Chain A
């Protein structure tokens, strides 16, 4: 069964001066136990996609439409509040970039994890607290009993991110959405958290959607990659193919601009210009103003999503 199944997702936001489309017809799927990376820059629509799937956006101003939007086989757009709160937790859970704002500062870590557990299981406080302690131990927090009684401000960013992962795992979700889970963390802590997420995913047989701007995070963690730009999917491929033989010029440019690839001080390969303004998107392919290979057709018409081999697709006319 497909854990996540999205077809033609459009997310738009009503603003005082018109409607802005953040996601423009996105399709993707994740199967049980699979890990998918969504890579893109700010404004690409990668985070909004996750929020829309979990129905975490305020509607209105957000408006979500899709031919299909399903979590664990359940239609998310048709689900009522009760059904949604079951989906969030038991089917899907999310870890955010900034753990400091995700926790309530006036409750202890233990209270907050126990509350989540009790919301989904019919158990008492004491049992929930015991489960919370076990979860903290599982995310490799050394003194879980003490951390249960700590307040968020007493923990480092890395510890808080571990606690948030523990909370996300508390209902044994089938899929974990991780939105830039390591971006706010120090370099060495980043590597630890990525490794922890990978290990937990394998151990629990969970699906994973890793949202990031960092191709290094992609290289470390996922099986398959979706490259987003200007609210659209530019390319989908197994992770090795993305790095060895990118099909879309945007993917290739992103790889080329990664610093530190070779020895010695040097100029990097730049992508000229800036990401498109969602309020005023370019015609045709959103990447055409920055693409060295663009021609009249790219300016006029959004490329079809074309297959390449069995398991790759890209939205570029050059594949035709």
Chain B
């Protein structure tokens, strides 16, 4: 039997109820932030989750970490369903799943030294003596490319790239199976972005880590990930091995995203035509159900095209 995937999301849905209208006669409308999202993060791999603001990619990541409760669906970590685990039962799974955010400045406590910040997860989970915890923290600072002498410094003394290194060290010191990285390079300068991407590549390979890499930046995703899932209006509309997304995208929204990437050279300049979100939504591919050996359906669904390529389509008779 093969090992269970590092992380599985099954049919995740998150609906927010919005209150509108006057105070006396409020009306409630439902906002579907995430709709029926199923994703598999294999072991020892990086899965990119891309989309624009409001696509539901960050909410999906927060649900996977159980930092946001889903309205429906399941979160399965290494084969165990953690969707309904209580605080105590969840704690060992918290250790196995860690997160790095875009803005590491607000994620690092300004009153703590870097050694304290990096050692804190060990402290919380009661791993090792205080002395061992500090030693490990210093080891980790070194491992993410900061000198051990940084252990006594404070977050405000660091550059953006250095702070992101600290956030990565803190996330990985517990040796998690899964790292959720939510736009970790978006606030960084171009020259530093490459450093952090390389650091994530190296650590992933060394530790056999599984990373859910949430980003709006398709260029970064191309260099870093093994697979990509594209989210649009709360749904996954396409998922495939990374190069298949870049060379053989099937969903009109994926194509629109790819088309928007700026040219890598001035000779590739072109005039683009832009479709509205509504037009992209209406342009869901239609496929003959018979050709795929499936039953026709009038609701769009993810269809497996083989070779790990899934796309949302309407199945016609």
Contacts and interface: CB of A to CB of B under 8 A. Distances in A.
A41 B224 CA distance: 22
A188 B256 contact: yes
B201 A265 contact: yes
Interface string A211-251: 00111110110000000000000000001100110000000
Interface residues of B, number: 48
B71 interface: no
A195 B270 CA distance: 9
A219 B262 contact: yes
B215 to A, nearest CB: 10
Contacts of A187: 52, 216-218, 257, 260-261
A254 interface: yes
Interface string B218-243: 11111111100000000000000011
B198 interface: yes
Interface string B198-211: 10011000000000
A181 to B, nearest CB: 13
A213 B261 CA distance: 15
B194 A271 contact: yes
A194 interface: yes
Given A259-B220, A268-B197, A269-B194, A274 B260 contact: no
Contacts of B217: 187, 259
Contacts, number: 134
B224 A259 contact: yes
Contact of B274 (A191, A219, A239, A266): A191
Contacts of B274: 188, 191-192
- Binding site of B, secondary structure by majority: helix, strand, loop or mixed? helix
A254 B266 CA distance: 16
B192 interface: yes
A263 B245 CA distance: 11
A85 B216 CA distance: 39
A214 B188 CA distance: 12
A149 interface: no
B246 interface: yes
Nearest to A223: B266
B129 interface: no
Contact of B162 (A213, A239, A263, A274): A274
Contacts of A42: 189
Contacts of B265: 219, 240, 243-244
A263 B246 contact: yes
A240 B256 contact: no
A126 interface: no
A186 B53 contact: yes
Given A186-B53, A187-B52, A265-B226, A219 B219 contact: no
Given A214-B190, A267-B201, A243 B195 contact: no
Interface string A3-35: 000000000000000000000000000000000
Contacts of B161: 274
B193 interface: yes
A186 B223 contact: no
Interface residues of A, number: 42
B271 interface: yes
Most chain A beta-carbon neighbours within 10 Å: one of B202, B266, B268: B266
Interface in A262-288: 263-272, 274-275
Given A191-B259, A214-B262, A260-B223, A253 B272 contact: no
A101 interface: no
A268 B257 contact: no
A258 B264 contact: yes
Given A265-B201, A268-B198, A260 B261 contact: yes
A173 to B, nearest CB: 24
A257 interface: yes
A267 B198 contact: yes
Contact of B269 (A220, A259, A268, A269): A220
A320 interface: no
Most chain B beta-carbon neighbours within 10 Å: one of A190, A217, A258, A265: A265
A143 interface: no
B193 A188 contact: no
B260 A41 contact: no
B2 interface: no
Given A187-B216, A243-B266, A263 B191 contact: no
Interface of A: 41-42, 186-192, 194-195, 213-217, 219-220, 239-240, 243-244, 253-254, 257-261, 263-272, 274-275, 290
18 contacts: A41-B191, A188-B274, A190-B262, A191-B272, A191-B274, A216-B263, A219-B266, A243-B265, A253-B191, A260-B222, A263-B246, A266-B201, A266-B223, A267-B197, A268-B223, A270-B198, A272-B195, A274-B192
The 7 closest A-B pairs by CB, nearest first: A216-B262, A260-B219, A191-B260, A271-B191, A257-B194, A186-B52, A268-B194
